[in-house]
């Protein structure tokens, strides 16, 4: 059993070409929001289980990469085209050679991933719900149902989402909500990034039906969802 479970529906295989001593230097990594969250938790000393789909040949490579980083992978294997990109950085800029968000999850695959996430999430007691690689990967309402079922089972729910997925998760009930000021503006929840506007948006989200407020919680829990402003020097900010 891990300390934290991460719901990461569709991680991405990243292939980057750089140059070293005049020769191409090719790097393969696992990428995506849930993967970056998992890396931060590992550096903090937490054990992490990642619940995700592993699609086709790309999925097989991703499993090895994730496990090599020290993650426990609770993966749903399926045929098809997975999320991946190929970037060339030899010129100093990031030139996009090819990108794909992969294929949406079929109903059977989504049901299996949902069950796996409930099993692992209720065992760990702390679950982070992260976004997919593309908007069409899975229905936004999945986040409402998952947040609600995890809460019913006694797990704490942390979300790092935006748009329809944010609204759905909050409706299901969350303990900690992380969202940037840019995302709040994009969703029409604030008109500026002043502290007053951000606090007002956080209060409005915390009053949403289904959002729980827990007291007497461990220190990693927040009594109500609060907006968190992203640092401008965050190296992963451009990926989200």
Q: Residue 99 is inside which H or E element, if any?
A: strand 95-100
Mean pLDDT for the stretch of residues 31-46: 95
Among the listed residues 168, 120, 166, the one whose alpha carbon sits nearest the alpha carbon of residue 142? 168
Predicted model pTM: 0.80
pLDDT value for 4: 97
Q: pLDDT > 70: what percent of the chain? A: 76
Q: Which long-range contacts (CB under 8 A, 24 or more apart) does 194-203 make?
A: 198/227, 198/229, 199/227, 201/227, 202/177, 202/226, 202/227
Mean pLDDT for the stretch of residues 145-154: 95
Among the listed residues 148, 141, 66, the one whose alpha carbon sits nearest the alpha carbon of residue 110? 141
pLDDT value for 121: 97
Instruction: Kindly give the residue spans of alpha helices, DSSP state H, lying in 69-160.
Output: 107-124, 141-152
Q: How does the average pLDDT of the chain come out, rounded?
A: 83
b/e code 195-211 from CB counts within 10 Å (16+ = b) = eebbeebbeebbebeeb
C-alpha–C-alpha distance, residues 177 and 43, integer Å: 21
| Domain spans, the chain | 9-111, 139-215+222-230
Give me the CATH code for the 9-111 domain, please: 3.40.1190.30
pLDDT value for 228: 36
**Residue whose tokens read 């996430």:** 117
């Amino acid at each position: 059993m891990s300390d934290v479970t991460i719901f990461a529906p569709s991680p991405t295989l990243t292939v980057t070409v750089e140059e070293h001593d005049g020769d191409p230097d090719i790097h393969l990594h696992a990428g995506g929001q849930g993967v970056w969250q998992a890396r931060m938790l590992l550096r903090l000393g937490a054990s992490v289980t990642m619940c995700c789909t592993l699609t086709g040949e790309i999925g097989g490579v991703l499993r090895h990469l994730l496990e090599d980083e020290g993650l426990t992978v609770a993966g749903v294997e399926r045929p098809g085209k997975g999320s991946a990109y190929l970037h060339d950085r030899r010129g100093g800029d990031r030139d996009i050679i090819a990108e794909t968000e992969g294929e949406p999850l079929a109903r059977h695959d989504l049901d299996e991933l949902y069950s796996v996430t409930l099993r692992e999430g209720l065992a760990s007691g702390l679950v982070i719900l992260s976004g997919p690689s593309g908007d069409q990967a899975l229905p936004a309402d999945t986040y409402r149902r998952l947040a609600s079922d995890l809460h019913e089972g006694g797990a704490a729910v942390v979300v790092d989402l935006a748009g329809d997925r944010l609204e759905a998760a909050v409706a299901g009930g969350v303990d900690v909500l992380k969202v940037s000021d840019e995302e709040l503006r994009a969703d029409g929840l604030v008109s500026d990034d002043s502290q007053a506007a951000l606090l007002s948006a956080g209060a409005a989200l915390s009053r949403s039906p289904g959002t729980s407020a827990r007291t007497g919680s461990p220190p990693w829990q927040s009594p109500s969802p609060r907006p968190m402003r992203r640092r401008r020097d965050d190296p992963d900010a451009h990926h989200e």
